[in-house]
Amino acid sequence: MYNSLTRIQNVFGFFTTVAFAVAAIIAASDFTAPRTPSSEIKMTNVQVVKGRPHYYSTKKEEYAIIKFSMDADLSSLFTWNTKQVFVYVTAEWPSAGTQNQTNSAVIWDSIITAPSSDHLANIGPATLKKLRRSAAGKATDPSRGLLSLKNQRPKYQITHPTGRIAKSADVALRLHYNVQPWVGLLTWDQGRDYGLWQAMKGGLTKAFSLPAVKAKDEGKKKKA
Amino acid sequence: MAEQLLDQARDLVDGQIDFEGQKLAEILTTVLLSVVGAIAFFVGFFLQDIALALKVGLAGTALTFLVIVPPWPFFNRHPVKWLPVGGGRTAGGAAAAHQNVVIDDKMFAQN
């Protein structure tokens, strides 16, 4: 602390220590915020079609197109330390035969930004303006966690490595989330309660079976 | 004249403070930064605004730099009092009383 340079070094050195400590406390403060996510999800329509993985492929695969409706309340996930929440819906079904495996494929996803990270959202200027205005003057906006989807088309049509997915039984849709904080660890939806963080209520559809491949050419044949 | 100006500039950049001042600077750094960290967290936590916490923390740190780094007069209130050269009276004498100490080409006349 004898001259200015050593004082700069000392102050900056202790500043890094304090910054780390405060960051650690902020990360730990997440555990004081209860998480009570809940959702109702149901499959509304499903069909299986034949298609190609890419334009020049000679391989034909079966693709399942699963539409769903969902009412979810993830508002408790939005605290001051939440940067964004990644929400995704998977279709899960047991493997055929005796393999004792569960297949899981994402059919729909979405990124919900907190007002503090709106500027990071990958959207156009007009949409960004609208998004900013929706939370004007608010640092956190739990209402962003309220989702209501009616007969939502899937973002991704799913298949299986074998290329066969039609007539799969016991398929269920499940809602997942991934909380991405400003400071701290990523957390996913959990299967059981941990302290104030409760497991999701609902979030799983009844099991359904995929139909047979939709006969595309039937109409054409009749005409011919 | 130019040398004098240079000396002044060097003193300003060096910003040396006395021993008591160094102790005070050390304590002030620890206390100020810890308090700033605590305030930043609680402001952010109770107003639920992490950007505000960051701003408070950085502003407080800037303030701490401003308080600690320049050689403010309150860091120089206890200048070191050197003993007379050659033990003063005991070494006896007029001979020792007029030694010149040369440091960095500057003459320090002691008496």
Q: Name the residue among B16, B34, B45 with its Cβ closest to that of A3.
A: B16
Q: Is the pLDDT of residue B109 over 60?
A: no
Amino acid (1-letter code) at residue A40: E
- Chain A residue closest in CA terms to B61: A15
Mean pLDDT of A186-201: 91
A89-107 per-residue burial string, b: 16 or more CB within 10 A, e: under 16: bbbbbbeeeeeeeebebeb
The 10s digit of each residue's pLDDT in B20-74 is 999 999 999 999 999 999 999 999 999 999 999 999 999 999 999 999 999 899 9
User: Least CB-CB distance to A1: which of B25, B37, B40?
Assistant: B25
Residue A210 CA to residue A156 CA, distance in Å, equals 16
Q: Determine, for residues B22 and A1 on separate chains, whether the beta-carbon distance falls below 8 Å.
A: yes
For residue A79, the distance in angstroms to the closest alpha carbon of chain B comes to 7
User: What tokens does A5 get?
Assistant: 């340079």
For the stretch A45-56, pLDDT in tens is 999 999 998 899
The predicted structure's pLDDT at residue A99:
74
Task: Using alpha carbons, list the distances in angstroms from residue A32 to A195, B32, B51.
Answer: 9, 27, 20
Q: How far is B90 from chain A (nearest CA, A)?
A: 33
Q: Is B56 on the interface with A (CB under 8 A)?
A: no
**Count of beta carbons in the 10 Å neighbourhood of residue A1:** 20
3-class DSSP state of B35 = helix
A37 burial level (CB within 10 Å; 0-12, 13-18, 19+): buried
Within 8 A of A24 by CB-CB distance, chain B residues are: none
Confidence of residue A121 (pLDDT cuts 50, 70, 90): confident
Q: Please indicate whether, in this complex, the C-beta atoms of A15 and B61 are within 8 angstroms of each other.
A: yes
- Closest by CA position to A76, among listed A33, A14, A137: A33
pLDDT of residue B33: 96
Report, as an integer, the average pLDDT of A113-125. Answer: 88
d(CA B26, CA A28): 29
Query: B7: which residues sit within 8 A by CB, 6+ positions away?
Result: none
Pair of tokens at residue A126: 């007009």
**Confidence (pLDDT) at A101:** 85
Per-residue pLDDT, B53: 94
pLDDT at B106 over 80: no
Q: Does B49 touch chain A (CB under 8 A)?
A: yes
Confidence of residue A18 (pLDDT cuts 50, 70, 90): very high
CA pair distance A205, B100, nearest whole angstrom: 95
Residue that wins the pLDDT comparison between B53 and A134? B53
Contact status of B51 with chain A (Cβ, < 8 Å):
yes
Dist. CA A22–CA B34, nearest whole Å:
9
Enter the pTM of the model.
Answer: 0.80
Pair of tokens at residue A57: 């492929």
Percent of chain B, pLDDT > 90?
Answer: 48
Could you tell me if B100 lies within 8 Å of chain A, comparing CB atoms?
A: no
Q: What is the mean pLDDT of chain A?
A: 90
Which tens digits make up the pLDDT trace of A155-179? 999 999 888 888 888 999 999 999 9
Chain A residues in contact with B17 by the CB 8 A cut-off are 1-3
Can you give the pLDDT at residue A77? 93
pLDDT value of position A140: 85
Query: Across the interface, do B49 and A1 touch by the CB < 8 Å criterion?
Result: no
Please tell me if residue A79 touches chain B, with a CB cutoff of 8 Å: yes
Q: How many CB pairs under 8 A join A and B?
A: 86
Residues of chain B in contact with residue A7, where contact means CB-CB under 8 angstroms, are 15, 25, 29, 68-69
Rounded Cα gap, residues A2 and B17, in angstroms: 6
Kindly give the residue spans of alpha helices, DSSP state H, lying in chain A.
4-29, 125-134, 218-223
